[in-house]
Structure 1
Amino acid sequence: MAKELTDDSRKVKKGGIYVAIRGLTSDGHDYIDEAVKNGAVLIYGEKDIKVSGAKYIRVKDSREKLGELASEFYGNPSQKLKIIGITGTKGKTTTSHLIYHILTNLGKKAGLISSISVPGLHVTSPDVITLHRFLKEMVDKGCEYAVIEVSSHGIDQKRTAGVKFDMAALTNIAPEHLDYHKTFAEYKKIKLSFLKSAKARVVSRKETKLNVLPGIFNNLNAQLAVDVVIKLGMDEKSAIASLSSFELPEGRLEEIKNDFGYRIYVDFAHTPDSLQAILKYLRSKTKGRLISVFGSAGERDRIKRPEMGRIAVELSDIVILTAEDPRTEKVRDIIKEIRSGVPENYKNVYEEPDRKDAINFALKTARSGDTVGIFGKGHEKSMNLDGKTEIPWSDQKAVKDFLKNIKDE
C-alpha cells in the first residue's frame, strides 16, 4: 500500500495514490496532471482516459473506491469495531451523544464522531479518509464501539464508504436540505438507503414514557438511544439509570445563567419542526414573555423560511429576525422571506441583520420572568456572511459578552 492517499491533487506526495472525484463544482479528473506532477504513482478515476507518468485504473465509482482504499490504508478499522450510525432530520447529535454516554457508563470503551466532536466548520460527516483515520485511532485506543452521526450529505457523497455499520438508527424524517436533494422523496430515499445498508436497524418511537431530559423531543432521543443499546445486548434498566448523569451537548437547549431574573437558551434549532418543538417546551416553562432570535441560512431550503416565521410568532411574544450564515444572499432578503409567513396583525417582529446586535437587543428587552431563545447556530463557532469566508462566531460568547458588559457598567 502506498504511503499517501488523497483525493486532493494539491496534497499528493511522491509515491502516493490519487483518486479523481467528480464534485459539485469541480472535477478531480481535471487535476490528474497536477497529481502526477506532485508524485502520484497510481490514479483511480471514472473516465476512460490515458494518463502519462502514472498507472491509471478506471473504476465505476470513484467515491466508493476511495472509501475502500481508505479502509485498507488504515487497516480496515470498521471491521474491528462495532459501528453504530445515527441519521435523521433532527436529534442526530443528541442521540449520538446519548448512545456514547450510555456505552461508556456501562463500562464499554467507545469513540464518538458527531457534528460537535468533528473538527471543522459546518461539518457533520467528515470526509471519508478522515473518517477511517478516526476509526483507526479508536482501534489503537482499544475501543470496542464507534458511534457516528451520519448526515444525508455524507450518505449521498459516500463519506461513509468502506465503513461496515453493525447498527443504523433513525431519529425521524422531515423535509430538509431540499436545496441539495431537490425533493423530499429523494431525501427520504437517501436516509433509508443508509438504514438498509446496516446489519441491524432501530427506528425512533413516536411516543415514550421516559422523562429523564427536558422536552419531549429529547426524551424521544433518549428512548432511541436506550433501544439501540438494548439491541446491542445491554440491560434496559442500567441504560436508563445511566441517563441521570447525561448533560445535553453544547448548543442543544443550552442555558446560560445570569443574575437578571430571565432565562437564556442557545439551541441549534434551524428547521420548522425543531423550532416548533423547542418553542413549545420553552413556552411551557416561561412565566413571562418568550423572546425568539433566529434567521435562516443562505442558499439553503428557502421553502422553510415562511413556515419558521409562522411558527415563531404563534409561540413567541417577541420575534427578532437576524442573520444565520447568509452566504451570498442578502440578510434583508432572507428576513423578508421569513416574514412572509407572519400574519399582518402580529406587530412584535423586529429586524436586526447583525446577529450580535439582535442578541443584545433581545437581552436588553428581557425582564424578570422572561425567556430568551437564540436559535440556529447552536454549537457552531463560525458564521459565513459572504459565501466565501468563515468568521469566528459563537452565540454563547455573544451572550456572555453582553452579560459581562452589563455587570461592568
Structure 2
Amino acid sequence: MPIEVLSLKEIPAVSITGVQQNSRKVTPGNLFVAQVGDMVDGHKYIPEAIKKGAAAIVGSEALEGKFDVPYIQVSDSRAASAYLSAAFFGFPARQLTVIGVTGTDGKTTTSNLIYNILLQAGYPTGIISTVNAVIGDEILDTGFHVTTPDAPEIQRLLSRMVTAGLRYVVLETTSHGLAQDRVTGCEFDVAVVTNITHEHLDYHGTYEAYRAAKGRLLDYLAETAPKKHGNPRVAVINRDDMSYEYLRQKPVENLVCYGQTSNQATIWSENICFDACGLHFDLVSDTFRLPIVSPLVGDYNVSNILAAAAAAIYGLGIDPPVAARGVAAVHGIPGRMERINLGQKFTALVDFAHTPNALRKALETARRLTKGRVIAVFGSAGLRDREKRHLMAEESARLADISIFTAEDPRTESLDDILAEMAAAAAKVGAEEGISFFRVPDRGDAIRFALQMAKDGDLVIACGKGHEQSMCFGTTEYAWDDRIAMRAALAEFLHQPGPQMPSLPTSRKSA
C-alpha cells in the first residue's frame, strides 16, 4: 500500500542500526517509529527514544523541526514500520514461501499441521506461532499473552530463517496482527482462514470489522511481489464457516475450499471416527481418497487437518500421502486438549478454548470422551469482548454437568463483577448455583474444587489458558500455567509429590 511522506525537505544520510516501535527497546542508532495505539501514543515517547540514542524518528504527527534528529512524518506509521523493518532486513520474505494462517479458532493447530507436513516433505521450514517460533533446531519463546509479534520482530525472525537456510515459513496471524499492519510486508504466498466466529469485538467493534481484518490475509496475496521461486497465490477457506460467502468474493487468483461434506468443497472428509486416542477419516477430493490417522483428539480437528492438507496439496504441490504422514506426526499441541495424568481415576484436560465456539467444541468433545460427568473450569477476560461472558457461560451450562467460573486475566476489571455476569447468564438458561455451577475466584482453588468433585470416570477440563504462561491482574502479569496448576492440584489430591501451585493475587488474598 502507498505510504505518503507528508513533510521533510531532504532526508539526510543517517546510518540506522535497527527499527524499533517500542521506546524502551531503542538502542543507539535505531530508527524509532512512533505509533498511535489504543492505549498509548508513541509520539509522547520520542524524547525518551532520542535520549536512548535513536538516530531518526518516523511518526504520523506534524512534529518536524522539534527534535535534534531527523523526523519524517508519514501518513501511516504502522504500515511504515512494517515496510521499514522489511527493508532493513533485506525483505527476507521475498526469499521464502510464506504460508499465513488466521482464524478465530484452530489457527495454532493448523499452523503446526502445515509445518509438520512440510517437514515430512523434506522442505526446510520455520514457524512463527502464538506458542513459539522454530528456526531449525532452535525453539524461541514468543512471550506471555502472545499475539502476532510486532513488525520489527517478525522481520528479524524471517531474516534469521533465511540465514539458517530455510525456504518456507508458516506464520500464524491474529486479527490484531492484520489490523495493525504487523504482517504487512510479509509477502504471503498461501493464505489459510480456519473460521471467523465471535471474538475480539471489544477491539474491532463489529463482526463485520473483525471479518474484514481477517480477510486482509487474502488481500495480501495480490500485494506479494513476484519471487524467483514462484508465487502460488492460493487462498484456502472453510466451506462450512459463516465467513465463506464473504471470503470467496475476494479477488484471489486461486481459491481452494474445504469442508466436512462434499458440498462444493475442493477437499472434504468422510467416515469420521474419534476416541480418546485420536481420530481417523477419509480425505477425499475429485481425484483421490486417502485414509487419515491422527493422534489429535476431537472431531473439530478434522477441519484443521483439512485446512492444512488443502494448503499443502493445492497450495504447495505436496503429494497427498506425504501430507497424510505429516498429519500423523503431530501428536499434540501444547495446551490443546492436553491430558494431565498422575494416575487419577478420572480424565483431566487442559485446553485453550477461550471463545464461545471453541468452548462449545471442547465440551462436545469432552462429552464424547467420557461416560461420566463433564466438569468445566473457565473464566472470561477483563477489558475484552464482554459479550463472550454470557455466551460462554450459557454454552457450559448447556453442555457441561458442572461449570466452575473463575479468574482468567481480569486485568483492571472487577473479577467479582465478571463472575457475576457469567453466573447471571448461566442462571438465565436454567442452571442452578451451588448445584450445576459455582463461582471460585482463585483459579488454583477452582481447579482443586473441580478435582474434589470428580468421581471415577468423570472428566475435568480447564479451559481458556492452554499454553499461556501468565495471568494478568491489574496491569501486572503473574506467572501462571494451567498445566502446572492441574499437576499441582492432582498431586495434592493424590497425596503425592508434585509441583507447587502457582500463586495469584486471589490466592494470596485468601491465604
- TM class by shorter-chain length? over 0.9
Q: Distance in 2 between matches of 1:4 and 1:124?
A: 22
CA-CA distance at 1:311 after TM superposition:
1.1
CA-CA distance at 1:295 after TM superposition:
0.7
Q: Distance in 1 between matches of 2:29 and 2:349?
A: 52
CA-CA distance at 1:12 after TM superposition:
3.1
- Report matched runs for 1:74-223 at 5 Å: 74-117=89-132, 118-198=141-221, 199-204=233-238, 205-207=258-260, 208-209=269-270, 211=280, 212=294, 213-223=296-306
For the Cα contact (< 8 Å) 1:260–1:367, is it kept in 2? no
Q: TM-score, normalised by structure 2?
A: 0.77
The match for 2:399 is: 315
Instruction: Provide closer, same or farther for how the CA distance between residues 259 and 163 of structure 1 changes in structure 2, counting only shifts above 3 A.
Output: same
The match for 1:362 is: 450
Q: Distance in 1 between matches of 2:393 and 2:46?
A: 48
The match for 2:224 is: none
Q: Distance in 1 between matches of 2:68 and 2:373?
A: 69
Q: Distance in 1 between matches of 2:363 and 2:337?
A: 11
Instruction: Provide closer, same or farther for how the CA distance between residues 359 and 61 of structure 1 changes in structure 2, counting only shifts above 3 A.
Output: same
CA-CA distance at 1:200 after TM superposition:
2.3
Q: Distance in 2 between matches of 1:135 and 1:157?
A: 18
- Report matched runs for 1:7-406 at 5 Å: 7-51=21-65, 52-117=67-132, 118-198=141-221, 199-204=233-238, 205-207=258-260, 208-209=269-270, 211=280, 212=294, 213-230=296-313, 231-342=315-426, 343-344=429-430, 346=432, 347-386=435-474, 388-405=475-492, 406=494
Q: Secondary structure at the match of 1:169?
A: strand
Q: Distance in 2 between matches of 1:345 and 1:265?
A: 23
Q: Distance in 2 between matches of 1:9 and 1:350?
A: 44
For the Cα contact (< 8 Å) 2:198–2:357, is it kept in 1? no
Q: Distance in 1 between matches of 2:345 and 2:26?
A: 57
Q: Secondary structure at the match of 1:276?
A: helix
For the Cα contact (< 8 Å) 2:423–2:439, is it kept in 1? no
For the Cα contact (< 8 Å) 1:290–1:370, is it kept in 2? yes
Letter in 2 for 1:40: A
For the Cα contact (< 8 Å) 1:268–1:379, is it kept in 2? yes
Q: Secondary structure at the match of 1:121?
A: coil
Higher relative contact order (CA 8 A, sep 6+): 1
Instruction: Provide closer, same or farther for how the CA distance between residues 79 and 295 of structure 1 changes in structure 2, counting only shifts above 3 A.
Output: same
Q: TM-score, normalised by structure 1?
A: 0.96
Structure with higher helix content: 1
For the Cα contact (< 8 Å) 1:14–1:38, is it kept in 2? yes
Q: Map Cα deviations across residues 219-270 of structure 1 (whole Å, 9 max, x no partner).
A: 1101100000112111112201322221221000101113221001100001
CA-CA distance at 1:66 after TM superposition:
1.0
For the Cα contact (< 8 Å) 1:124–1:149, is it kept in 2? no
Identity across aligned pairs (percent)? 42
**Greater shift in the superposed pair: 289-298 or 207-216:** 207-216
Instruction: Provide closer, same or farther for how the CA distance between residues 345 and 282 of structure 1 changes in structure 2, counting only shifts above 3 A.
Output: closer
For the Cα contact (< 8 Å) 2:34–2:41, is it kept in 1? yes
CA-CA distance at 1:9 after TM superposition:
3.1
For the Cα contact (< 8 Å) 1:112–1:146, is it kept in 2? yes
**Greater shift in the superposed pair: 189-198 or 13-22:** 13-22
Q: Map Cα deviations across residues 358-386 of structure 1 (whole Å, 9 max, x no partner).
A: 00011111121100011000001111122
CA-CA distance at 1:314 after TM superposition:
1.3
For the Cα contact (< 8 Å) 2:23–2:45, is it kept in 1? yes
Letter in 2 for 1:139: V
CA-CA distance at 1:291 after TM superposition:
0.7
Q: Distance in 1 between matches of 2:51 and 2:485?
A: 47
CA-CA distance at 1:31 after TM superposition:
2.7
Letter in 1 for 2:311: V
Q: How many residues align?
A: 408
After TM superposition, which residue ranges in structure 1, 4 or more long, deviate above 4 angstroms? none
Q: Map Cα deviations across residues 13-51 of structure 1 (whole Å, 9 max, x no partner).
A: 333322121111222222333333333332212222223
Q: Distance in 2 between matches of 1:45 and 1:332?
A: 41
CA-CA distance at 1:54 after TM superposition:
1.6
For the Cα contact (< 8 Å) 1:41–1:53, is it kept in 2? no
Structure 2 alignment gaps of length 5 or more: 1-14, 133-140, 222-232, 239-257, 261-268, 273-279, 281-293, 498-511
Letter in 2 for 1:302: R
For the Cα contact (< 8 Å) 1:86–1:96, is it kept in 2? yes
For the Cα contact (< 8 Å) 2:102–2:173, is it kept in 1? yes
CA-CA distance at 1:395 after TM superposition:
1.0
**Greater shift in the superposed pair: 349-358 or 45-54:** 45-54
Instruction: Provide closer, same or farther for how the CA distance between residues 375 and 345 of structure 1 changes in structure 2, counting only shifts above 3 A.
Output: closer
Q: Distance in 1 between matches of 2:408 and 2:154?
A: 28
Q: Secondary structure at the match of 2:101?
A: strand
CA-CA distance at 1:201 after TM superposition:
1.0
